[in-house]
Amino acid sequence: MRSQLITKLEQFGDRPAVIHRGDTYSYRELVAEIRRIEEQLAAGGVRPHEVVVLNADFSFRSVAAFLALYLGRNVVVPVVTFTEGTHATVTGSCHPRHLLKPDGNDGRGDLTIEPMAGDAAEAEAAYRPLIEAGAAGLVLLSSGSTGAPKAILHNLDSLVEEKVGTRTRVGAKAQNILMFLLFDHIGGINSLLGVLKVGGTAVVPEKRTPDEICALVESYGIRLLPTSPTFLNLVLIGGYPEKFDLSGLRLITYGTEPMPEELLKRVHAAFPRARLLQTFGTSETGISTTTSESSSSTYFQISDEKVQYRVVEGELQLKSPTQFLGYLNYPSDSLTEDGWFRTGDLVEENAEGYLKVRGRAKEIINVGGEKVLPLELESLLLGSPLIADCVVYGKPNSITGQSVCVDIQPVGALSRTEARKHVHEFLDGKVEPFKIPSKVQVVEELSVSERFKKRRILP
């Protein structure tokens, strides 16, 4: 498989592989860079199966370094930005031996390798299944919105085999893909492997602002934009479809958080020529191939023959051959006894077998025993012409347990009293009375995580 990957990349020859900071790098150059980095790794004392922290976002050299580490059967821990939480998890649970900065300390230099103090014996115990299989590993850190980030261990050989495959389809139409999702996120890794599979071009943004992303879509005629609902709404709120020529987009995929139906309608109206596809995946089970019922529907099907799914008490559970091997720092209590991964996503299934995400189990607001899911209200509220965006969350109280709160980002100027009256009138008759928010706040903008998910206070 290792030599086949290189052969495959070599066959793509002069096709552009990566575009970064205005420079275009071909597949031929990518292979040469992989070979060069392999030599640097050997010279730097990096041995097979050692854990290497790859501290970088997407770049020509970071992609090459990732592939070189895969070829070297290392365990790769990609980290875009070190935070206190990720640093503690990496040093405390991942047993790293090397810190690799493919573009140096300032992101513009040459590759550097620094030693890290991970214990070799502990690493051997933690990564034994990979060592025995002779496989490379990948550790993804969860965003850690609740507690320390989870360190999620994958068999990188299985992921590459599954996503890149061994068949070469040089004739397949190449795609320009914007690397919107981050390098240390399952979605970003999936985008990268998707590019390599078809000999496509990874267009790397410097910043992930609507300005930068839309400018790249226009200049490079990007056809595929993998993104998140929150980011798409930022693009719409900012009026970017009028400022840039985004008509080249043929496929916009959205994932990482549930899509409110009303927002999907807005996106569909703004990009009538693009197909809109719900992606579904978790850091633990990888990204599954999905089919949306239509571009204006939030119902989707898991059409991945290798992924089994079932719905247990409203929660989606998945099983796939490429699912994670386990957490390095948590008990695997998200797996059922029979090995299914509990996604924590609540779904409903329609008569045709399509699924729709209703929200996260941990986001349920309990008002005196009645259950409220934020997504239902957010979806409705986004249908109001006065509301640009909103986030619904629960707040504890000693009378009903929790109450429903909403932060509103209005389209124009709106006072708190006006916003409250509007929310009440708008929802009246559309939802049961207990779902109507008791607290309405007006905010200038909603808080968004670095992975472009809405930040929501959990009840």
Partner 1 sequence: MSGSGRPALAVGKGDRVVDDRLLGVIGNVIAEINERRDEKIPTDDLLNVSLYGDAGVFDSMHLVNFLTLVEEAIEDEYDLEISLTSEKAVSRRISPFSRVERLIEFIEEEMVLVGAESGQGSAV
Q: Which residues bind partner 1 (CB under 8 A)?
A: 367-368, 397-400, 403, 416-417, 424, 428, 433-434, 438-439
> Would you say 331 or 369 has its CB closer to partner 1?
369
Q: Which of 277, 287, 291 minimizes the C-alpha distance to 352?
A: 291
CA end-to-end span of the chain: 47
> Would you say 63 or 381 has its CB closer to partner 1?
381
Residue 198 region by backbone torsions, left for phi larger than 0, else alpha for psi between -120 and 50, else beta: alpha
> Would you say 306 or 416 has its CB closer to partner 1?
416
CB of 233 to partner 1, least distance (A): 27
> Would you say 35 or 371 has its CB closer to partner 1?
371
Residue 111 near residue 101, CB atoms below 8 Å: yes
> Would you say 336 or 417 has its CB closer to partner 1?
417
CB of 410 to partner 1, least distance (A): 17
CB of 458 to partner 1, least distance (A): 19
> Would you say 223 or 420 has its CB closer to partner 1?
420
**Tokens of residue 106, six digits:** 């300032």
CB of 416 to partner 1, least distance (A): 7
Helical axes 374-381 vs 261-270, angle rounded to 10°: 40
CB of 450 to partner 1, least distance (A): 30
* 209: CB partners within 8 A, 6+ apart: none
E-strand stretches of 321-364: 326-327, 341-349, 355-360
Distance CA 359, CA 258 (A): 7
Distance CA 274, CA 271 (A): 6
CB of 406 to partner 1, least distance (A): 12
16-44 b/e (C-beta count within 10 Å ≥ 16 → b): bbbbbeeeebbbebbbebbeebbebbeeb
CB of 377 to partner 1, least distance (A): 15
Q: Which of 290, 139, 171 minimizes the C-alpha distance to 226?
A: 290
The enclosing H or E element of 118 equals: none
CB of 420 to partner 1, least distance (A): 8
DSSP, residue by residue, 144-193: -SSSSPPEEEEEHHHHHHHHH-S---TTSPP-EEE--S-TTSHHHHHHHH
> Would you say 315 or 370 has its CB closer to partner 1?
370
> Would you say 114 or 428 has its CB closer to partner 1?
428
